[in-house]
Amino acid sequence: MSNWYSTMKILLHLLTAILLIAGTVFAGDYLRPPPRKTFHFPWDPKSSSQPQQVHISLAGDKHLRVTWVTSDGSSPSIVEYGTSPGKYSAIAQGESTKYSYLLYSSGKIHHTVIGPLQENTTYFYRCGGESPEFQLKTPPSMFPVTFAVAGDLGQTGWTKSTLDHIDQCKYDVHLLPGDLAYADYLQHRWDTFGQLVQPLASSRPWMVTQGNHEKESIPFLEDGFVSYNSRWKMPFEESGSTSNLYYSFDVAGVHIIMLGSYTPYDEYSDQYSWLKADLLKVDRKRTPWLVVLFHVPWYNSNRAHQGEGDDMMTSMEPLLYAAGVDIVFTGHVHAYERTRRVYNGKSDPCGAVHITIGDGGNREGLAHRYKQPPPEWSVFREASFGHGELKMVNSTHAFWSWHRNEDDEPVQSDQVWITSLIGSGCNTGGGHEMIRILMDS
Ligand SMILES: *[C@@H]1O[C@H](CO)[C@@H](O)[C@H](O)[C@H]1NC(C)=O
Ligand SMILES: *[C@@H]1O[C@H](CO)[C@@H](O)[C@H](O)[C@H]1NC(C)=O
């Protein structure tokens, strides 16, 4: 690369950074309480072939994907695993990738799928033939199953508090509706985030979708989602999608769909066609619960980010309604809000419960100002950091609770039993029934 070109790259990078800072300062019209500081833990590359930033994710029936980073480019992408410590009865060979972003070059990012694995079972594993040994538990294949839910994490003192609370709860899978590292163009922050979440993310599957802080596109220089897609590979191929930005998976009796708020969603888009095809395949006898996650909320009575989800909602809400989606989780707004079952802007017994949970602990602080009076569909709203737990007890009953990080204790604040749409007389037939509903609408 010529010197001139490098200089231009740096100048453009600086310009982008200035514009971003200006945007952050002037965008909000609400007062935020003091956010906690971003952690400044040194980026410590360890011995070069030592696995770092280990995290796992579901990768199709009975399989998990193990992801880690090494500084050493010749370190092998193998995972050894078994059900007793130190004894590895199986070994899997995976793939690897790396990327450059402006002046940053990533380490070698390994993705290795292991399985078939037994359900609800503890496995011990080692990456690239190197210690340390990690430990994971696979999800159960039937109810009950518990999800931890927290979005807009970042890497601050509040993030740490939220993660500590999640660690204390018994859960099977973590669901993250967007905004992970808040790297915001500074790539080493993806590495420190990977280290921060490793204790949790190496032991339970983390299933994520992307938010605005994952985009990191710079006109003419960098495409969007380069780091996110390289580091957080999700089972999109396993679910018939052509993009890591939207995919689906099953856990026990729950079908979960991850959508992208920042990738085209209009009715001519690939995402829309994929979503429709995926919903048509849902069999509620096998997966009685249907849950969807994406970043930008459609039902939000906070003054922050008003209306940003409207276009996606216009395009996709009829599909979700026709399929009988039970619960929608979103982030983006740094506060918590739960709705009644809603559709088309008002309460509807056959609509989804929408839960905004963008309160994981990012450095931007909380969104305090709400529209008054609250819309009829809003049941509970509060601007505090925290996390949620969704326990699917059986095919008809789920217990949802939200825990705020008050005084660094996980105080349970909102809780509700949610009953599934199965047997409610609403659309849950999938297949032909759903096509008929869509044709009629
Ligand atoms: C999973 O294992 C735990 C303890 O090992 C047990 O209590 C629980 O009932 C199991 N869950 C299922 C769905 O098998
Ligand atoms: C499902 O769980 C709820 C709550 O514990 C219980 O009231 C209900 O009877 C259960 N249903 C079945 C079919 O077991």
The Å distance, Cα 394 to ligand 2 centre, comes to 6
21-25, 193-197, 431-435, range with greatest mean pLDDT: 193-197
Residue-level pLDDT at 433: 75
Give how far the C-alpha of residue 93 lies from the chain's centroid of Cα atoms, to the nearest Å. Answer: 26
Q: Which position among 55, 110, 165, 305 bears the catalytic label?
A: 305
pLDDT at position 364 over 70 = yes
| CA R_g for the chain | 21
Using pLDDT thresholds of 50, 70 and 90, give the confidence band for residue 46: low
Q: Which of 142, 145, 289, 394, when mutated, tests ligand 2's pocket best, judged by the most ligand atoms within 8 Å of its CB? A: 394
CB distance 182 to 209 below 8 Å: no
Q: Does the annotation mark 174 as catalytic?
A: no
326 close to 339: Cβ distance less than 8 angstroms: no
Alpha-carbon distance of 27 to 303, in angstroms, equals 12
Ligand 2 contacts CB of residue 144 (under 6 A): no
Average pLDDT, the chain: 91
> pLDDT (tens digit, 9 = 90+) per residue, 49-97?
899 999 999 999 999 999 999 999 999 999 999 999 999 999 999 999 9
Sign of the CA dihedral running 302, 305, 307, 313: negative
Q: Per-residue pLDDT tens for 120-170?
A: 999 999 999 999 999 999 999 999 999 999 999 999 999 999 999 999 999
* pLDDT value at residue 394: 97
Q: How far apart are CA 233 and CA 231, in angstroms?
A: 6
Confidence (pLDDT) at 48: 87
Q: Is the pLDDT of residue 4 over 60?
A: no
In this structure, the residue with its CA closest to atom 6 of ligand 1 is: 120
